[in-house]
A and B are shown apart, each in its own frame.
Chain A
Amino acid sequence: MSDDIPPEDMMAAEYALGLLEGEELLAARSREASDAAFAQEVAFWQDRLAPLLDQIDPQTPRAEVWERISAELESTGDSAEIVSLTARLRRWKIAAGSAAAAAVAAVALLVLSPAQQAIAPVPQEPVEAPLAASIPIGDTQLRLAVTYLPERQELLVSASGLTADGVHDHELWLVPQSEDTPLLSLGVIEPGVERRVTLDAAVASEFADGSALLLTREPLGGKPEGVDAGPVVAEGRMQVI
């Protein structure tokens, strides 16, 4: 204290060591989350100090600990498939920005759905990777999240946050790969709802990485028979996740 050395900013080191508590700890945590240079500094300290942990003698935990871990994963239904999909979505989200948040929500819906219980063990080699699209709605912050699960030929459509205007419905379309095939309807969007749809094999087979999706404005109930589809109000592309 009698020294007049200006207090250096050692917060990253203090945080990495675990010296901080209370408000200082909270401040360091929020800096780590928001300040890349600070986070890098924390990582520097962690990496450099980690070798000290080699001084601690290993101790074999009781066999029961692994049994408990295993049982916890079973009981919460963390099927490898769901975790895998969540991880893929997360990676995709990092690449695509937060846009995929709603797609992640759609997966959460799938996890919670009772139908999940009946699903057979995961195929070792999924035929294809899941696809996802995040479609911005007009100039709003809202997005329509669409996830396609090829091994089940199922489509998850998350329209949470959207509200109905009482005059129109919106219909989702897949632009088929083959040029002479008409647009394939993926159904009318139900605002505020997360929906899971099982697709016909013919429709499912048209899904590919890069497939375009269109959202059109239609009369209530969707496009009437024998009439052209309404104006396109939004579009997006399915991408491998």
Chain B
Amino acid sequence: MQPASAKARESLKAAMARLADGDRSALEEIYRKTSAKLFGICLRILKDEKEAEDALQDVYITLWRRADRYDPSRASPISWLATFARNRAVDRLRVGKVRAGSVPEDEAAPVADKAPLAEDMMIDAERSARVHTCLEKLDEKPRDAIRTAFFEGRTYAQIAEAGGVPLGTMKSWVRRGLQKLKTCLERGE
């Protein structure tokens, strides 16, 4: 992996702007630059290659049809795209198209092409450090719960069940953890 150079970031931003103007070649360029990252995310959440491919297709089709949803003043394009892909994958879990966690994580070996990785774009090294530092400061239980929710797309009920604790207990752990996390993240503004 290499950090996204300012140049790579700007060229992605420019492609997003062309996309909003209906330039089809911009979609292809964005796909070339970001699909490996977004596919990795979809695969991680959905743990099924077929599902992840469908999710990825859905992500780029939606991106094309609703290109105006991206606000360049708000987020870096790769951060926005990664979040968008994650949310779409989580949505698929919620509508019951996929049985969540049907395969244990370490068995969900990717079977995708072993082609050379597309250029990977890092989201934001500085903020990355911040969120990691802040997560480390949390107690183990809320930290694990938050990480599981984020990376596996699990709901409160699923996390509580997996941890063998009552739902109310899990909610109160997580809420306190989130409150602490928020304070810490804001300090890093």
Contacts and interface: CB of A to CB of B under 8 A. Distances in A.
Interface of A: 1, 3, 5, 7-8, 10, 13-14, 17-21, 25, 43, 46-54, 56-66, 68-70, 72-73, 78, 80-87, 90-91
B15 interface: no
B112 A59 contact: yes
A195 B90 CA distance: 42
A66 B31 CA distance: 8
A57 B40 CA distance: 6
A17 B150 contact: yes
Contact of B176 (A5, A46, A70, A72): A5
Contacts of B120: 58
B131 A10 contact: no
Interface in B17-66: 20-24, 27-28, 31, 35-37, 39-41, 43-44, 52-53, 56-57, 60-61, 64-65
- Chain A, interface SS category: helix
Q: Which 6 A-B pairs have the closest CB atoms?
A: A84-B22, A51-B128, A58-B36, A83-B22, A61-B39, A18-B90
A87 B118 contact: no
B131 A61 contact: no
A17 B149 contact: yes
A59 B64 contact: no
Contact of B122 (A54, A83, A85): A54
B5 interface: no
7 contacts: A18-B149, A46-B75, A53-B82, A54-B122, A54-B128, A59-B39, A59-B110
B124 A51 contact: yes
A49 B155 CA distance: 17
Contact of A69 (B57, B151, B155): B57
B162 interface: no
Interface string B71-85: 000110001101100
Contact of A61 (B61, B65, B112, B169): B112
B138 interface: no
Contacts of B37: 53, 56, 58
Nearest to A82: B22
Contacts of A21: 94, 155-157
Contacts of B24: 73, 80
Interface string B85-118: 0110010001000000000000000101111111
Contact of A19 (B83, B117, B128, B149): B149
Where chain B touches its partner, the secondary structure class is: helix
Given A51-B124, A61-B112, A83 B175 contact: no
A50 B123 contact: yes
Nearest to B37: A58
Contact of A81 (B22, B56, B169): B22
A61 B83 contact: no
Nearest to B60: A69
Contacts of A47: 74-75, 79, 83, 127
A51 B123 contact: yes
B9 interface: no
B182 interface: yes
A65 B57 contact: yes
B185 interface: yes
B185 A48 contact: yes
Question: Most A CB atoms within 10 A — which of B83, B117, B118, B146?
Answer: B83
B155 A20 contact: yes
A72 B57 contact: yes
Contacts of B112: 59-62
A214 B64 CA distance: 37
A60 B39 contact: yes
Contact of A10 (B79, B169, B175): B175
Given A1-B172, A50-B123, A60-B115, A14 B178 contact: yes
